[in-house]
Amino acid sequence: MCSLATNLLLPSKMKPVFPEKLSTSSLCVTTRRSKMKNRSIVPVARLFGPAIFEASKLKVLFLGVDEKKHPAKLPRTYTLTHSDITAKLTLAISQSINNSQLQGWANKLFRDEVVAEWKKVKGKMSLHVHCHISGGHFLLNLIAKLRYYIFCKELPVVLKAFVHGDEYLLNNYPELQESLVWVYFHSNIPEYNKVECWGPLWEATSHDGTRTRKKSETLPELPCPDECKCCFPLVSTIPWSHRHYQNSGADENVADGLFGISIPNPEKSKG
């Protein structure tokens, strides 16, 4: 760029003269180098640049749920997957995880799916999002830190996909935008096996991936231990078994139920 600017500013008599063939060949070399440079920059820009949601690349499937029905009256789960070939997102909205989306060697290798469910605890609705960071095979363990970074960067896009795909629900029940978003990072490495509160849904989707988000590492309130009307059933629709409550002193029976593992309480079973 500097040499080009200098060449434009110099008088014609002072400009260096090159043979036509040499000039043409040097131009080809420069063009090749610039193309190679651009190729190397593009993946880096995609990784570290802003995360942008494109509605045209989202395919939405409603499987056994009513678009407009409040999730408190029916289990409502999101399964979001990404195709590296088409660069498109597929969002299934159903009563449980859409396992058909998670088949195939690529999904099992990359584990880049994001699943979420609406829950009601003590009368308050909240959205619980789950991401797999590491565990399952050693390749994921080697890049756990990078995967955690990428999931954090792309989560605003994921949440926007949920909001856009389920727009009729959120338009009919705008109060759901005030629901807290809880993000569960599942990992066999303690540093990345944690839960973060990303604030209300409207706030969690308002970031473009470049600004620092206010995230609090805490645990969501546990549901009532006994059957009640103010909470959803203890058994989750997402059967991911990593425990986040094991060091919190919480009732393990209740905590395991949050992750789809229902362990009976021996004291209650005696009665």
Tell me: the pLDDT tens digits for 43-85? 333 444 567 889 999 999 999 888 888 888 778 999 999 887 7
- C-alpha span between 221 and 213 (Å, rounded): 22
SS3 41: helix
Contacts of 179 (CB under 8 A, 6+ apart): 118, 124, 125, 126, 127, 200, 201
Whole-number pLDDT of residue 236 = 74
- C-alpha span between 195 and 172 (Å, rounded): 29
Across the range 190-199, mean pLDDT stands at: 92
Whole-number pLDDT of residue 239 = 67
0.85 surpassed by pTM = no
Q: Is 56 exposed, middle or buried (0-12, 13-18, 19+ CB in 10 A)?
A: exposed
The rounded mean pLDDT for the chain is 73
Tell me: the pLDDT tens digits for 206-237? 865 544 455 666 788 888 888 888 888 777 77
- C-alpha span between 58 and 52 (Å, rounded): 12
Tell me: the pLDDT tens digits for 3-34? 323 222 233 444 444 444 444 444 444 444 44
